[in-house]
Amino acid sequence: MRPRLTLSRAFVMERTWPFFVDLSVAAALLAGFYAILWIGKFWFSSAIPEVEIYRSPAHLPLYAFYSVVRIFVAYALSLVFAVAYGYTAAYNKRVESLLIATLDILQSIPVLSFLPGVMLAMMSLFPSRQLGIEFGAILLIFTGEVWNMAFSFYTSLKSIPRELMEATSINRFSRWQRLFQLELPFGAIGLVWNSIVSVANGWFFLMVCEMFPVGSRNFRLPGLGSYLQTAAAHGDFAAVTWGLITMVLIIVITDQLLWRPLIAWSDKFKFETVESGDRVTSPVLDALRNSSVIGIINRYTFKPMAERFYLDLAARRKRRRPKPVDDKPRRGAAAIYLTAAVAVLAVVGVAAFHALLLLKGMHRSDLLHLLAGAALTLVRVNAALLIGSLWTIPVGVAIGFNPKLSQILQPIAQIAASFPATALFPLILVALARIGIGLGIGSVVLMLLAAQWYILFNVIAGAQAIPSELREVATLFRFQDVQRWTTVILPGIFPFLITGLITASGGAWNASIVAEYFQLKGSTLATTGLGAQISAASSDGNYPVLLAATMIMALIVVTINRLVWRPLYHLAETRYRLE
């Protein structure tokens, strides 16, 4: 009788589980629709720059909802921007160097340097609506999420094997076909892992982006970041604990419902000729693939749209016939481009002139003080990169090579990366003070907490992208550990490692604004450094110092880009490229 009972239970589970999945998918779609309506109602309401934050745990679900929406709206904007920017930089030789240098500068400039201009611009665009303040916070979170994704997609495009590009040319793929069928799939692994660290970085800077001063005005948005900052300012450790528990729960749920399925899905895009027997799996992805609701939506919506899109592209290519060469249209287009370039340069020149006028009131001593602070911050940034690389490279390779280990450690790493280190920094400062270490060295710890995750997640992506047959050949020929690292592992992860180091450098510069200038229970702890000077200038509304500090940081970043990162990118593109 027991076998029959077991069979009947299996039969019931087989019949009820798909229905439960379909019901969950339908409920999620309805919940998403209701969330859009709720957010639209709140954003288009009257503007309230300084919302009162309640420390009761009963308000946490609503605050968490607002924060999640801001982070993922910023992530969606970051993904679109990263693909467009990386594509332009990879295939436009004329502006490639300029775009990469600009990207390096932007990802290194701290959030507070963007903060005054962004908030004032958004408030002027939507003066009477909450939408302006919300878009300002979203764009600030965007500046903390986008840069590593753009670097990742750019590196992936530069690393596509030549034979694959030649195959798309032989089969006469259009640019859209090549993008959707080669370039996005080839860059999927890097984009997924950098998406994880981007969203984690959004959580990291949430406390800065939801509650901040701009001159004499204070902005406070309802959200988990402002809740944590308010609770910490009042010394309410119970509220801080509830806020951190809520954040950890959100991160774990996001990992299981979003990132783990995406990691398992992107594993099929690994560039290899022999399928690995050790694959990444996700029960949620398997359930979604077997969902009738998803199947119906895909069958009657996405597939017809994709087929129509590609048929239109093919029809356009057939209708396109070679035309006789005429120099007049080219001259006209060149004249238009030249006029537009002159107009842009004129606008930039006028803006730069007015910006430089702000520096007239600065004294020589102020400039020397900024340069000394920049030198100290540069030393701290490099120290954080070195310390972070020592442990993230071997750990990242171990996680990337072992899917079972990845299922255990990846959520832990994501939680640690997302955890707002600023909430832990008071404890870190107290611990360091007890052993006689001040903020000058202690700031390296917070920079390390912000920067190391970029290296770790990019190394994981690089290790996961190494073809299985290369690892099997190394095992077959009995490579020793040193030979395996120098011949297979380091060359395989090198493009991803460079991306991780560049974005980690930007993360360390960003973290300097809170690592070198920290407010604790009404008192301000500061050390000499460019980040502290930017934080103090932003808090005091001292825009000349803020501008000068940002310019010095940009000059340092451009110099490092030309002397270090550009040669390494060229090395990754030419020598360590899969062919």
pLDDT digits (tens, 9 = 90+) for 2-61: 455 454 555 444 556 566 666 666 677 777 777 777 777 777 777 676 777 888 888 898
For residue 575, which of 519, 478, 511, 498 has the smallest C-alpha distance?
Answer: 498
Residues in Cβ contact with 487 at an 8 Å cutoff, skipping those fewer than 6 apart: 474, 479
* Residue among 244, 241, 249, 234 at smallest CA distance from 54: 234
Comma-separated ranges of CATH 1.10.3720.10 domains in the chain: 44-278+356-574
Q: Are 467 and 578 in contact (CB under 8 A)?
A: yes
Structure confidence by residue, pLDDT tens digits, 234-283: 778 888 889 888 888 888 888 888 888 888 888 888 776 655 556 667 77
Across all residues in the chain, what is the average pLDDT? Answer: 78
Cα separation, 557 vs 107, whole angstroms: 10
pLDDT in tens, 524-548: 777 888 888 887 777 776 777 877 8
What CATH number was assigned to the domain covering residues 44-278+356-574?
A: 1.10.3720.10
The DSSP output letter for 218 is: E
Of the given ranges (152-166, 187-201, 559-573), which has the lowest mean pLDDT? 559-573
HSE-CB at 445 with a 13 A cutoff on CA atoms is 17
C-alpha–C-alpha distance, residues 562 and 39, integer Å: 44
Segment 367-381 mean pLDDT: 88
What is the C-alpha to C-alpha distance for residues 408 and 89, in angstroms, rounded to an integer?
A: 36
Which tokens sit at 137?
């916070």
Chain centre distance of CA 417:
12
**Neighbour-count burial of 297, counting CB atoms closer than 10 A to its CB (0-12 exposed, 13-18 middle, 19+ buried):** middle
Q: CA angle, corner 395, sides to 481 and 263, nearest 5?
A: 115
pTM of the complete model? 0.75
- What pLDDT, on the 0 to 100 scale, is given for residue 1? 45
Residue 219 is given by DSSP the state: E
Q: Which residues are CB-neighbours of 210 under 8 A, at least 6 positions away?
A: 67, 70, 137, 220, 221, 223, 224, 225, 226, 229
Measure the N-to-C terminal CA separation of the chain; round to a whole number of Å: 60
Q: Is 415 helix (H, G, I), strand (E, B) or coil?
A: helix
**343 pLDDT more than 80:** no
